[in-house]
Structure 1
Amino acid sequence: MKRLVIITVGKTHSGKSTFARALEKELNNSLVMDQDNHAEFINTYYKTLQPKRGPNTLKHAISQLVVDYAIENTNFHLIICNSNRSRTGRKYLLEQLFHKKDFIRILVHFDIPDHVLQARVTQSNRNTNIFRSASNFEEVLIRQQADSLTEDVTIPYEDEADHLFTVKDNQEVDSVIQRIVHIAQDL
């Protein structure tokens, strides 16, 4: 039987983690996989193993192990919670890890205006132990805003996955969660 994979897409403080936790409570037999948890684990116990520059290959390896284990050893609906703003990265997830024959693939794009995100990061009390090369979330947002000008960082498009939902403000979160729960109920 197919199961769902829900992949969040968006900048820091757009509501991805809050959405993922709320969805996990409403969607029976689901599990959130959040790369921030993997980053915090590495920074707490294995900080010296991290690459100093370039992609965080250690974090990605841990995330890959967790995903592989969940796919092979559980029947959970999977909620993949990280930014996923790169088209190349999403393509890898959708075509290599979460095959169409095994999963109904759902993208949830958080398209929150930058001025709202700026206010959120300025007031943020979130733990910064997830960072490798930034000291606060404002730096992360500035970097993500600059990355938005690159070719590979793109908003998801309609045919990229089986379903695409866009959240433009927090008022839309509950209705998106209910629509995803209904998709699961129709399996």
Structure 2
Amino acid sequence: MKRLVIITVGKTHSGKTTFARMLEDKLENSFVMDQDNHAEFIHTYYKKIEPKQGPNTLKHSISKLIVTYAKEQTNLHFIICNSNRTRKDREYLLEELYPEDQFTRILVHFDIPDAVLEGRVKESRRSTTIFRSVTTFENVLIRQQEDKVDDPVEGEADHLFVIKNDQEMSFVIQEIMKLSNSLKRHP
């Protein structure tokens, strides 16, 4: 049976982690892979070998190891909780790590207005131990607002859902549950 891979796309504080945890509670046989956890682990225990600039290749290596292990050693559905805001990053995930012959691939784009995100980061109590080059989530959001990114489009994955506010999360979770149930009926 094909497994699901649900890949979140969105800026900081858009609700990706909240959504991923809610989905994990509903979707049997699933797990959340969140690179923020890997970044915090590295920053806490391996700060001396953490890359000081450029891509965090150590974090990406740990994430890839976890994905490879879960693919080979489990039958779990994957919930990938990262920003995944560039088309190139998503193509790597969709073509290299989660090919369509093994996975039903779902993108969930959090298209939350910047004004809402600005309010959330000002009130944030999240740990900043995941950071290497910035010091606050406000700085992260400013950088993300300046970045040129490509929003996901229909056809990029098997399914695309767009969340524009927190109330839409439950609907998208219900739709993913329907997809999961259809996989059970048609392996």
Q: TM-score range by the shorter chain?
A: over 0.9
* Aligned-partner Cα distance in 2 for 1:78–1:121: 27
1:156 paired residue number:
152
1:33 paired residue number:
33
Q: Please say which of residues 3-12 and 67-76 is displaced more in the overlay.
A: 67-76
1:69 paired residue number:
69
Letter in 1 for 2:58: L
CA deviation string 1:16-70 (max 9, x = no partner): 0000000000000000000000001001100111111110101001011111111
Partner secondary structure for residue 13 of structure 1:
coil
* Aligned-partner Cα distance in 1 for 2:146–2:120: 18
Letter in 1 for 2:61: A
- Equivalent runs, 1:18-167 vs 2, <5 Å: 18-147=18-147, 150=148, 153-167=149-163
Letter in 2 for 1:79: I
2:167 paired residue number:
171
The TM-score with structure 1 as length reference comes to 0.97
Letter in 2 for 1:119: G
* Aligned-partner Cα distance in 2 for 1:159–1:141: 28
Flag as ranges the 4+ runs of structure 1 deviating above 3 A.
none
* Aligned-partner Cα distance in 1 for 2:103–2:56: 27
User: How many residues end up aligned between the 2 structures?
Assistant: 183
* Aligned-partner Cα distance in 2 for 1:67–1:47: 23
CA deviation string 1:81-129 (max 9, x = no partner): 0000010000000001101000000000000000000000000000111
Partner secondary structure for residue 4 of structure 2:
strand
Q: Quick check: 1:181 aligned with 2:181?
A: no
Partner secondary structure for residue 155 of structure 1:
coil
Q: Which runs of 5+ in 2 are unaligned?
A: none
Q: Which runs of 5+ in 1 are unaligned?
A: none
RMSD: 0.5
Letter in 1 for 2:161: F
* Aligned-partner Cα distance in 2 for 1:7–1:62: 18
2:8 paired residue number:
8
1:176 CA displacement = 0.2
* Aligned-partner Cα distance in 2 for 1:121–1:174: 23
Letter in 1 for 2:100: K
